[in-house]
Chains A and B, each alone.
Chain A
Amino acid sequence: MSDLTLTEDLSTRAVVAGPTTPAASASPVRRGRRTGGGNWIVHLLLGFGAVVMVFPFVWQALTAFKTFQDSVQVPPVVIPDPWVFTNFVEVFDSMPFAQMFANSVLLTIGRTVGQVILCTMAGYAFARIPFRGRNVVFVVFLSVLMVPSQLYLLPQYEIIQSLGWLNTLQALIVPGIFSAFGTFLMRQFFMSMPVELEEAARIDGANPWQTFWRVMVPLAKPGIIALTVFTVLWSWNDLLWPLVVTTDPEKMPLSVGLSQLVGLHGTDYPVLMAGALLATLPMLITFMILQKQFIQGIAFSGTKG
């Protein structure tokens, strides 16, 4: 069944939903009743949103194949003529791309694993373990969220420098594994879970660690997935901190390497876009592969809520 026929099918049955499975459309009776007109508007809005979101990416991809002259043409040249593939070669020539890519991957994995472990434990502690001054500590902790991150740039730099960590992988990772936001997110998640689950675990003889590890963490999967997504994206894109703590191209992540393609008086846009495209692809592919888990995780949280 093509998308188009599916859409018509749905609109005639007055069902509100985006793309859905044939199985779902087979039992439309249980869906809410909406007008067919509303359906068109929804599709129009969604379609418009999709175009707006995708356009910059398409433009980036097209520019990556243009000559420099085409990339700065007034009025703009849309389709590259001729198609140029040397821009990608130039990206590899102008920076140690493979090493930077590896750095980005390690940075992202390190930060994400660190945050998931620390934020989950801290979030659980703030949500469920009563200790003196818990709320005060939590509010103080949260106040970190109110401070613009640029403000810690200098003190953090001084710490990292006095540890002798400049130009090292741990300088990229360690400051990124603590997150007030992540802790807050996980705390809210644990707060929303029924206390009865823990009580049941305790009656079955589980100690607090077992309760946390065996019962609560598996249930917190949707929250952990959300946290992972945020952290992965933020780590992959992070520029300012890695820029400041690395001076050796071999230690830089891709975000810093790409920024060096921006010239003072002129930038070779096709090469920059080719590099950016190469840097974006791994993220895209990862999310396409993990999309199912991601959506399942969210659906899971919906049934529990």
Chain B
Amino acid sequence: MLRTTTGRTVAALAASAAALLALSACSSGSGTSSSDDVTISYGIWDQNQQPAMEEIAEAFTAEHPNVTVEIQLTPYKEYFTKLQTSVSGGAAPDVFWMNGPNFQLYASNGVIAPLDDQGVEASDYPQGLIDLYTYDGSLYGVPKDFDTVALWYNTELFDAAGVEYPSAGWTWDDLKAAAAKLSDPAAGVYGITATQYGQENYYNSIAQAGGEVISADGTESGYGSSEALEGITLWTDLIAAGSSPTAQQMTDTAAEDFFISGKAAMFQNGSWAAIAYAENPDLAEKVNVAPLPAGADGNQSVIHGIGNVANAKSTNLDIAKEFAAFASGEQAAAIQSESGTVIPAFNGSQQAWVDALPQYDLQVYIDALESAVPYPVSKNTAAWTALESEILSQVWAGTVSPEDGLTQLAEEMQAALDAESE
């Protein structure tokens, strides 16, 4: 009696499951068009750049009338989670954006295809970016854009404090002196935000002091050096002197908000900031940008950029590779440049970006290329950037001295790097 009922329940379940399957089979029958027409997908993460990417896709279709490029937008925070899943499942986009920290992981696992046969001229792109997307002697990603870092400042606050605007040739001492003068605790105004940001702040200052975060071959941590210590203490000293909000304050409130609200006179930021500031009516007229201040070894900025890569398992690999090169080529660069969103990587096409916002001295971002240092990466970048943020947050908060923090960081990061090469 009971057995049969169970049997019946199971049968009913099975029947309903089968019905469900049949139903779905009907609804998922998507139209497959004639064999000549090809649709490739292009994975990106920045909504602001979507219009420019669509324009590039159309330009590609104009050259290849049988190819349609479909843009797939995934927000940056979830981009690599989704990419990893879809790569493992074999349904990743045919062409997609890649960044420096993740590049070697994908290249070394054969997920993305070498693009050596696409006729990409290395001399058309900044060397730092070509190096970033070269793995084992092959180019796997074509640089799409780049960002360098410069010093934004609020002219109103400088005028009010009677301090001269930052200019080329500024040193760390000039920065510290100006930041101290500009700070006005009573009004809640600070000279600068000494944030625990790598790309915007301490990656630059470590290079400026003559140190490095990681050796060029990506096997040795540079945090044990006295230069790295100087690069870090530049920021912690600014906080200690009261020229910057404390680490706690900058945890409670995004550091950039201090600058946007006119509560911080200086803010180091990447080239992506230009269009955001220009479009902010309350801020646009009050700010400008200057080169980074120089440390003992110069005023280097780190350079990073997105690369276009082709999925090695794409069913239309040839077209995917061609599009990856096209989307980083001269025509695509012109489209991006005019949009003003990012600086295209293709040499010679950067001027339009500078000219798009003539009210700011954006040339400083292009000039920074000359001495720019590559963004620090290794095969498994995420393993040690997690250590960076954990240990340095204690240094920033003042609970661990910079000396002890960096000694610990150098040791643990080295262990992570050694684990990579095994």
Contact = CB atoms under 8 A, between A and B. Distances in A.
B34 interface: no
Contact of B46 (A154, A249, A264): A264
A207 B9 CA distance: 13
Nearest to B147: A265
A168 B27 contact: yes
B80 to A, nearest CB: 12
Interface string A24-38: 000000000000000
A149 to B, nearest CB: 13
A130 B270 contact: no
B88 interface: yes
Interface in A250-283: 259-266
B2 A130 contact: yes
A69 B277 CA distance: 11
B20 A170 contact: yes
A21 interface: no
Contact of B260 (A69, A239, A240, A243): A69
B318 to A, nearest CB: 22
Interface residues on B, range: 35 or more
Given A130-B2, A247-B41, A259-B78, A161 B276 contact: no
Contacts of B81: 240, 243-244
A157 to B, nearest CB: 5
B51 to A, nearest CB: 12
A157 B86 contact: yes
Given A243-B74, A262-B75, A69 B254 contact: no
B261 A208 contact: no
Interface in A224-252: 239-240, 243-244, 247, 249
A169 interface: yes
A58 interface: no
Contacts of A125: 6, 9
B27 A169 contact: yes
Contact of A168 (B28, B263, B270): B28
Among A69, A75, A240, A259, residue most surrounded by chain B Cβ atoms (within 10 Å)? A69
B8 interface: yes
Interface string A185-205: 000000000000000000000
Interface string B51-85: 00000000000000000000011111110011001
B346 interface: no
B270 A265 contact: yes
Contacts of B91: 161, 166
Contacts of A75: 188
Contacts of B75: 259-263
Given A69-B280, A164-B28, A174-B20, A247 B72 contact: yes
A105 interface: no
Contacts of A249: 73
Contacts of A286: none
B45 A264 contact: yes
A121 B86 CA distance: 34
A72 interface: yes
A209 B5 contact: yes
A259 B77 contact: yes
A73 B257 contact: yes
A165 interface: yes
A129 interface: yes
A294 interface: no
A163 B46 CA distance: 30
Contact of A74 (B6, B13, B253, B270): B253
A158 interface: yes
Interface in B91-130: 91, 93
A74 B261 CA distance: 6
Nearest to B270: A265
B89 interface: yes
B33 interface: no
B322 interface: no
A7 to B, nearest CB: 36
Contact of A161 (B8, B45, B48, B90): B90
5 contacts: A68-B280, A69-B261, A154-B89, A157-B86, A265-B276
Query: Which 5 pairs, one residue from A and one from B, show the smallest C-beta to C-beta distance?
Result: A170-B24, A72-B257, A69-B282, A264-B76, A74-B261
Given A208-B5, A249-B73, A264-B46, 20 more contacts: A68-B280, A69-B261, A72-B256, A75-B188, A125-B6, A129-B6, A131-B3, A161-B89, A161-B90, A166-B91, A208-B2, A243-B78, A244-B81, A247-B72, A247-B74, A260-B47, A261-B75, A262-B77, A265-B272, A266-B256
Interface of B: 1-3, 5-6, 8-9, 13, 20, 23-24, 27-28, 41, 45-48, 72-78, 81-82, 85-86, 88-91, 93, 188, 253-254, 256-258, 260-261, 263, 270, 272-273, 276, 280-283
